[in-house]
Amino acid sequence: MAEQPEPSSNGSKLLRTLGVESTMRIDPWWGLVVLVIILIVVLCVVSADPFWNMLRFVSDGILITVIITVSSFVLVLVLGLFGGLGRLSQNRFIYALATVYVEIVRGIPLLVQLIWWYYAFPAVIKEVGNSLGIQVLADYQANPIAMAIVGMTVCYGAYMSEIYRAGIQSIPRGQMEAARSLGMTRFQAMRHIILPQAIRVVLPPVGNEFIALLKDSSLVSVVAVTDLTRRGREYMSTHFNPIETWTMVALVYLVMTLLSARGVAWIEKRSKFER
C-alpha cells in the first residue's frame, strides 16, 4: 500500500473543486428516460383519443402502484434486516425461524402468495373468530391494498433477508473481532461497524429488488387492487383497443423503472465515497 492517498479520490476532489463534476458527469442513461417520456408525450399529442384519455383513466392506478411499491419496499427493508440478522443468529431458535421463513416463501410463486393473502388469510381469520366467538375477527374484511402490501412484503422480505445476510457476511471477520475486542456488544458492533459497511455492499442488489418489486406489483391486479395494470385492463375491456392500451401501460411502467434505476445509480455513486 502506497503512502499517498488514492489518486482517484484526489481526481474527483479536483473535479469537485473546479465545479466540473456536476455539469460534465450527467449520466447518459438519463437520455433513455427522456426518450421514453418524449415518446409518451408525442403519442398523447398526436393521437389524444386513445392515448391521452387512456392515460387519464389509469392515472389513479399509477398512484396505487406507486403506493404499494413504496410502502412494501420500506417494510421489506425492515423485515429483510430482521430476516438477515436471524439467518446469522447464534440462537438456534431464531436461526431456524428465519431459515424456515426464507425457504418457505422462496418456494411458493408470488402470485399464489398474493392470492393466499387476499382470499385464504381473511377466511382463516373469520374461522378463528367464529370458533372462538370473537366478533371482531368474525367480521373481518380484507382490504385489498393492505393485503397486497402484506403479500409483497412477506415475499420480498425473504429475498431481502438473503441479500442482507450475504452483505453482512462479506464484511471481513476482523471488523467484528476488533469491535468486540474493544468492548462493544454484538449489537453495538452490528449497528456501528458491520451494518454501515454492509449497506454499501448491498446497495446495488437492494436497488434491483426495488425495481423488481415495482414490476411484480402488477400481479396485485389479480387480487382486486385497482393498480395500473388492472386499470389498463378495465380501459381495454370498454374500449377494445389492446395495442394502444397495453403499449401505453408498458411505457408507463418503463418510465417508472428507468427512473428508479437512475435513482439507484445516484444513491450508489453518492455512498461510494466518504460518509
Partner 1 sequence: MNSGEPIIQIKDVHKHFGRVHALRGVSLDVRKGEVVVIIGPSGSGKSTLLRCINRLEEYDAGNIVVDGISLDNAKNINIVRQEIGMVFQSFNLFAHLTVLKNLVLTQRVVRKRSNEESERIALELLNKVGIPDKAEAFPIQLSGGQQQRVAIARALAMNPKIMLFDEPTSALDPEMIKEVLDVMLDLAKEGMTMVVVSHEMGFARAAADRMILVDEGQIVEEAVPDKFFASTNERTKLFLSKVLHM
Q: Does 1 bind partner 1 (CB under 8 A)?
A: yes
Of 197, 218, 241, 247, the one binding partner 1 (CB under 8 A) is 197
Of 70, 95, 162, 180, the one binding partner 1 (CB under 8 A) is 180
Residue 183 CB, nearest distance to partner 1 (Å)? 4
Nearer to partner 1, 99 or 197 (CB): 197
Calpha distance 228→69 (Å, rounded): 12
Q: Does 24 bind partner 1 (CB under 8 A)?
A: no
Calpha distance 115→156 (Å, rounded): 15
Calpha distance 79→63 (Å, rounded): 24
Phi-psi region of 273 (alpha: psi -120 to 50; beta: other; left: phi over 0): beta
CA-based nearest residue to 164, from 262, 92, 79, 107: 79
Within 8 A by CB and 6+ apart from 103, the residues are none
Residue 156 CB, nearest distance to partner 1 (Å)? 27
Q: Does 14 bind partner 1 (CB under 8 A)?
A: no
Listed ranges 92-100, 139-147, 189-197, 233-241: which one lies at the site for partner 1 (CB under 8 A): 189-197
Q: Residue 219 is placed in which grid cell?
A: 400481479
Q: Does 172 bind partner 1 (CB under 8 A)?
A: yes
Q: Does 7 bind partner 1 (CB under 8 A)?
A: no
Residue 217 CB, nearest distance to partner 1 (Å)? 33
Any alpha helices (H) in the chain, and if so which ranges?
A: 7-18, 21-24, 30-46, 50-87, 92-106, 110-115, 121-132, 135-138, 144-169, 173-181, 186-189, 195-216, 228-239, 242-272
Q: Does 3 bind partner 1 (CB under 8 A)?
A: yes
Q: Does 133 bind partner 1 (CB under 8 A)?
A: no
Nearer to partner 1, 23 or 274 (CB): 274
Across 187-205, b (16+ Cβ under 10 Å) vs e yields eebbeebbbeebeebbbee
Q: Does 11 bind partner 1 (CB under 8 A)?
A: no
Nearer to partner 1, 133 or 174 (CB): 174
Q: Does 192 bind partner 1 (CB under 8 A)?
A: yes
Of 114, 142, 179, 213, the one binding partner 1 (CB under 8 A) is 179
What is the size of the binding site for partner 1 (CB under 8 A)?
25
Q: Residue 171 is placed in which grid cell?
A: 464484511
Of 17, 28, 90, 274, the one binding partner 1 (CB under 8 A) is 274
Calpha distance 44→127 (Å, rounded): 50
DSSP character at residue 194: I
| Residues forming the site for partner 1 (CB under 8 A) | 1-3, 5-6, 9, 172, 174-175, 177-185, 188, 192-193, 196-197, 200, 274
